[in-house]
Amino acid sequence: MGTLFFFHPPIPRLPLPSVSKPIAFPPISCLRNNGDVTGFHEHKSEGNKNVDMSQTISNDGRNVKQDNIWQLFKEAQHNILYLNEQRLGAIEELEKTNREKHSLLKKIKKLEAEKQAGAGKDNLSTCSELLLRIDAMVLSSMISPGEASELRGLVINHKVSLADVFNVISRKKDPELLGQLRHFSHGHKKNGFHIVHICTEMTPMVPRGSVASYVTGISRALQRKGHLVEVILPKYASLNLNEVQGLREVNVEAYSYFNGQLHGNRIWTGVVYGIGVTLIEPKYFSSFFNREMIYGYPDDFERFSYFCRASLDYIVKCGKQPDVLHLHNWETAIVGPLFWDIFVQQGLGGTKILFTCHGFNSQGIEQPDKLALCGLDPLRLHRPDRLQDNTNTQLVNILKGGIIYSNKVVIMSSIYPKHIVIRNLSRELEPTLNEHRDKLVIAPYGLDRSTWDPSIDYLLPENFNAENINGKAVCKVSLLQQLGLSEHSSSILVGFIFPEGRDPDVKRLKEVILNAKQQDVQFVFLGTSERSVVNQTLESLQKELKDDNLKLFPTYDEALLHLVFAGSDIILCQSLVDPTDEIPLIALRYGAAPIALTSDASTNRVIPFERNFINQDHEATMYSKLINSSFINMSLSLAVDELRTNPAVWKRKIMQAMAHDLSWDGECYDLHFAAYSAIKNM
């Protein structure tokens, strides 16, 4: 690609504002040697009266001149101020143009990189779309479930070659597509797992929380490693469909059981980031997912148990035989009992269950008789070793059922090891988790490496990595220049990214800033959304503190966001344990120390038992050991002192942290692959 040249627009010449009214000058007069005024007609008046009149005229003339000069001065001053305002506005526009230039350059480079490596992405999308079309053929009785299984094997085993042959499948009708599939030879052994997620969130379609980013992140990582992943979601009315390719409604009704009878569902299919997605839309119970919120309704159990049963009925109808059904939180945990009590004998004998739990605050506590709605036997399941709640024995616990009826349970916890999760965070499920301890796996969250990688980030003035961190110093200088802060070599730059969707602890923030004033620390605060509340908070904070070493930017700026991570020595974090917060991960990736806003002895009530036990727990994640050993108990003042007194040790610590693969393809993928392999070999 040729070199791009960007020209800065010249500052426009602005016309001076016109004077509001004409300035009247006195008539020009000539004085004779004797001092008389000469006009067009010579006339000499008599007496002192004429002399006084001449003197008065002379004084009036001088006054008029002085008034006019002062008026001209004021007009000139006004023009200078006006031109200065225009100059500042033009400079601001120029800076905005430069930021847009960097953003455009990044997008161009990213598109170029995707084009060079685009074959894999296109192949995944094509294969996913082919599999969804095979599902539609089964639903419409065009092919049998047995033939569908063979055709799926064909697609899974020949991803690359099939993508080349069927790259225009969206234009082909089902009979034509089926004919081509039947004539395409195959015979290679299947490699990789076939995984079907039954879930209630997925980025970017339902970007609500940690489940959404996790489903998309781990699914993309699995597909990059050669596995096939599909996702089944409810068709919410609030879905974001901007990133869905080839969205289409399957022209057939799929029936599922609920409350004693069969009900029809509309089925929609599409591809998101190369992942095949199926959306289930109830016809009779259309109000279940046609609501403003995803969760938080009195009939949530009815809504999601309907979806779970419909998902299993759809899988059986299509003749799918995945290696793993992957479930998430209590909302889809009921799939476990449904699978083993009803569906395992319907062609799913080779399928196993993996259950991911993202927390224990919500467990799905319900009346036992509601289990009958989706076809389960309440009397059989309302027992202590099954779904009976450990505390309120009159009720059933759906999350408990997901743990008991799964072959493996992955607990997402970036910081806490297994024994801390069981003992301190599981609420009343500690006995259940202890009983099933051997099948529990602790896994950390990850990052999208295509977005957050300083070695290829095109928004940075110079790239860097764990082996060569020199580019970080260049980024710091560039950031300081852009912020208008002093570039003194001893200054330490601290960034704070206002977490999206959460209100920052402003009181604690002010305390930290005031304590750091004596340590030659510079701050940059950056908003990540257009929320007026955050903007007002930032503006109020700036007015109150009035510190030249503090810069606040309430409006989201992608280029500046990347530069803040790359140029900061320390990133203040609202929390190091919040699973929905990627800021600590990004900070480590970009060579900045993540320091918790509340990480000191007076405010931290959770960390002390971490310090005592983390080094003894072999079941903690590598990320957990990294954070706990280096950063989690460190306050900002301690971090500043260590950075200034032991810069070589600090640099080595940062480079070691950067060397960890914190993306979904790193430790998170390895732990999931091991879990899938273990249950497949059971």
DSSP lists the bridge partners of residue 326 as 197, 354
pLDDT band at 168 (very low <50, low <70, confident <90, very high): low
Confidence label for 88 from pLDDT (cuts 50, 70 and 90): confident
pTM of structure: 0.75
Question: Which ranges in 284-368 belong to alpha helices (H)?
Answer: 300-318, 329-333, 335-338
Domain boundaries, the chain: 191-443, 470-600+635-663
Tokens 């000191």, residue located: 600
Task: Give the Cα separation of 377 and 1 in Å (integer).
Answer: 65
Q: Is 178 helix (H, G, I), strand (E, B) or coil?
A: helix
Token representation of residue 133: 């079309």
Which pLDDT score is estimated for 7? Answer: 43
**DSSP state string for 478-522:** HHHHHHT----TT-EEEEEEPPTTS---HHHHHHHHHHHGGGTEE
Quick: pLDDT tens for 627-654: 888 888 888 889 999 999 999 999 999 9
Averaged pLDDT, 274-295: 94
Q: 191-443, which class in CATH? A: alpha beta
Query: Regarding the domain delimited by 470-600+635-663, which CATH topology (the fold level of the hierarchy) does it fall under?
Result: Rossmann fold (3.40.50)
The pLDDT of 146-164, averaged and rounded, is 64
CA–CA distances in Å: residue 536 to residues 499, 531, 543, 548, 561: 15, 9, 11, 19, 19
User: Span 267-272, mean pLDDT?
Assistant: 94
Of 562, 615, 614, the residue nearest 592 (C-alpha): 562
pLDDT confidence of residue 341: 96
191-443 and 470-600+635-663 in the same fold: yes
118-139 vs 145-157: helix axis angle to the nearest 10?
A: 180
Q: Which of 323-327, 512-516, 648-652 has the lowest mean pLDDT?
A: 512-516
Q: Which residue has the higher pLDDT, 309 or 109?
A: 309
The span from the CA of 676 to the CA of 673, in Å, is 5
Determine the pLDDT at residue 356: 98
Q: Dihedrals φ, ψ of 495, to 5°?
A: -105, 150
Span of 11-15, 228-232, 246-250 with lowest mean pLDDT: 11-15
Query: Following DSSP, what letter does each residue of 435-459 receive, concatenated?
Result: HTGGGEEEE---B-TTTS-TTT-TT
pLDDT tier, 418 (very low <50, low <70, confident <90, very high otherwise): very high
